[in-house]
Structure 1
Amino acid sequence: MRHALYLPPFGELAEPTVLADLAVLAERAGFDGLFLWDHVVRPLRPELPVCDPWIALAAIASRTERITLGTRVTPLSRRRPQTVARQAVALDQLSGGRFVLGVGLGGDNGGELGRLGEVTEPRARAELLDEGLELLEELWSGEVVHHEGPHYRVDGLRFLPTPSRRGRIPVWVAAQSTKVAPLRRAARFDGLCPEAAPEELGEMLAVVAEHRGGLRGFEVAVGGPVGQDPEPYREAGATWWLHQFPEVTTRAEVESAIAGPAPGGG
C-alpha cells in the first residue's frame, strides 16, 4: 500500500508555494503522493481563502521529482473537457508523467454549484461526467476528433501533444456506494476513489472486478483521517492510503504529520 497526503487547499493552505513546500517535505519523508481537493468556493465558510488546485499542482510538480500528484476529485460536470484535457497534459509533461486525474460528480454543498449557475441535478451531472470522460479520451488520442454529443461538440480538431503514458492520463473515479453505475464507470478507467467502510469496499471491488474481468493494475485510493489504521482497507483491496486533513488545516498540522512515523511504518 502506498501513502499520500490528501490536502484541502484552503485557509493557510490556500497558497501554491505553501503546498509546494509541504510536497517537498512529504517526498523527503517517504510519502508516495499528494492529492488536493478541487473546489472553487466554500459557501458555508465564506471567509475561507481557496486556492486553485491545478495551479498549485503545477507548483508542486515543478518542485518534486518522485511523488504522484493529482486531484481528488474534480467535478467534471462544471469544467469544459477541452480545458481539462489541455491542463492535464500540461501537468503530465511538467511532472514527468506523475499526474493522476481524479473525477466524480461533486456536490452542491452550500450551493457551491447552484450559486454559480452550474448543473445541480445528480443524473444530469452524471451524463456530463460520462460524456466528458469520453471526450477526454478522444482528445488525448492525438487523432482528429469529430464528436457530436448531447452536451459537447468537437468539429474535426486535433489536440497535441498527447499524454506521455499509454495514450491517456490515469483516471480514478469516485464512488460512494455499491450502486452499479459509478462502479461500472470506474471499471472503464484506472482506479477508484471510494468513500466506504472496509466491508463495503470489498463489495464495490467485486462489482468493479466483474466489469473489468479482474483488478490487475487497478488502483484503489481510500482517504482517512491522520492516525487512522489503514490495514482493514488494505485487506479489503485498497492500494493507496490518503492521509486526509479537515477542511480547515494549518501548515503546522501538516508539517507535524509529515514529521511523524514514516508512511507505512517503515
Structure 2
Amino acid sequence: MHASAALAMVSNSVRAIAASSTVGAGCLGRGMRYGIDVAILGDLAEPAHLVTLAREAEAAGWDAVLVWDHLAFTWGMPPADPWVTLAAAAQATSHIRLGTAVTAVARHRPERLAQTVATLDRLSGGRVILGSGLGGVRQEFTAFGRTRPGGVVLDEALEVMTSLWSGEEVHHRGAHYSVDGVRLAPLPLQQPRVPVWVGGTAPGALRRAARWDGWIVAGDDQEGLMTLSPDSLAAQASELRRYRVNAGDLEVAVIGVSEPGSSVRAYADAGATWWLEHLHSHRGSMERLVRRVKAGPPV
C-alpha cells in the first residue's frame, strides 16, 4: 500500500471516531456505550485470544476493548503485555476503541509510556483510551525492589505525558521527573491528547478522575467477578461531580458482569456512561467467553 493511501485510511478512521467521541465528552446524551474488560492473565494471556475477542466484539456491536495491565499477579496467573496485545488487536479491527483498565502509570517511565501510547494511537487510527491508576498489586513494585508510589507521582507522570503529547518542546523539573528540552514525535492522532481515564474509589482517585476525562470503577463479589450496585455507583458519581471543575462531561465506566439480554439501565440512571463487561477465566473457557461477546452488549 502506498503511504498516501495508508494516510488517507487513517484520516478517515480518525474522522469517524471523532464524530462519536471527543476527549472529555460524556455519553449521557447519546446513550450508554459498551465495552469488554479482559483480564489478560493465565489462559487469556495468549495474544491470539485477545485478537479473537476484539474481532468478535467489534462484529457484535461493542464499543471498546480494555485490558488489564500487570507484571505479576497474586492469583499466580501470568499476564501478557497489554500494549503488544492491543497492537495486535488494532491490526485486526477497524473502529472499536482500545485501551487499558488500568495501567499503574508509576511503574513506567512517563516518557516511554507516552511514546508507546502515542504509537498505538497512530497504529489504531486514533482509538486509544489510557486507563490510569496507582496500581493495586503492591507485589508488582516490591518484587522489583521498589515501593508503591503515592498519588503525587502519578499526577506528575500524567502531567509529563500530556505535555509530551502536545507536540511542544517540554521542559519539566518536578519532584520525581525531569525533562530537558524534548519534543515527542510522532504525536497521538487524538488531540489535544489521548483520553485519560482514572481508576479507583478513594477520595484522591475521585479528585484525580475529576481532572481528567473519565473514571473507571469496579467492585469484587465473593467469586472474584466484578459487581457494583447502582446505588453505590450513584453515591460515588455524585461525589465525583462535586470535584469536577473542568468544562465538559466526564465518562463514567462501570465494570460488571451481565448475561445476554439482561438490563444495565439502572447503572445508566445512576450516572454510568459506559458498561464494561468483565471477562476473566473465572467465567469459564475461552469458548464460553466468545459466546458471551458474540451475544452482544446488555440492554
Please indicate, yes or no, whether the TM-score normalized by the shorter chain is above 0.5: yes
The answer to whether 1:119 aligns with 2:119 is no
Which one-letter code corresponds to 1:200 in the other structure? S
Superimposed CA distance per residue, residues 133-174 of structure 1 (whole angstroms, 9 cap, x where no aligned partner): 111111111111111111111111111122222221000001
Match of 1:257 in 2: 292
Select 2:63's aligned residue among 26, 32, 38: 32
SS at match of 1:113: helix
2-side partners of 1:247 and 1:156: how far apart? 45
Contact 1:103 1:172 in 2 (8 A): yes
Match of 1:131 in 2: 156
Select 2:210's aligned residue among 187, 196, 212: 187
Match of 1:142 in 2: 167
In the TM superposition, 1:66-145 aligns within 5 A as 66-108=95-137, 111-120=139-148, 124-145=149-170
2-side partners of 1:173 and 1:240: how far apart? 14
Shift of 1:214: 7.5
The answer to whether 1:211 aligns with 2:243 is yes
2-side partners of 1:263 and 1:44: how far apart? 28
Shift of 1:87: 0.6
2-side partners of 1:51 and 1:199: how far apart? 34
Contact 1:225 1:244 in 2 (8 A): yes
Superimposed CA distance per residue, residues 187-221 of structure 1 (whole angstroms, 9 cap, x where no aligned partner): 11110012354223223333333333488432111
1-side partners of 2:241 and 2:285: how far apart? 39
Against the structure 1 CA distance between its residues 245 and 145, is the aligned structure 2 distance closer, same or farther, given a 3 Å change threshold? same
SS at match of 2:189: coil
1-side partners of 2:168 and 2:38: how far apart? 36
Instruction: Work out the number of aligned pairs and report it.
Output: 256
Tell me how large the CA RMSD over aligned residues is.
Answer: 1.9
Contact 2:44 2:281 in 1 (8 A): no
Shift of 1:105: 0.9
Which one-letter code corresponds to 2:145 in the other structure? G
Match of 2:84 in 1: 55
User: Which ranges in structure 2 are unaligned for 5 or more consecutive residues?
Assistant: 1-31, 219-227
Shift of 1:245: 2.3
User: Which ranges in structure 1 are unaligned for 5 or more consecutive residues?
Assistant: none
How high is the TM-score relative to the length of structure 1?
0.89
2-side partners of 1:130 and 1:13: how far apart? 31
The answer to whether 1:15 aligns with 2:43 is no
Contact 1:78 1:119 in 2 (8 A): no
Which one-letter code corresponds to 2:80 in the other structure? C
Match of 2:196 in 1: 171
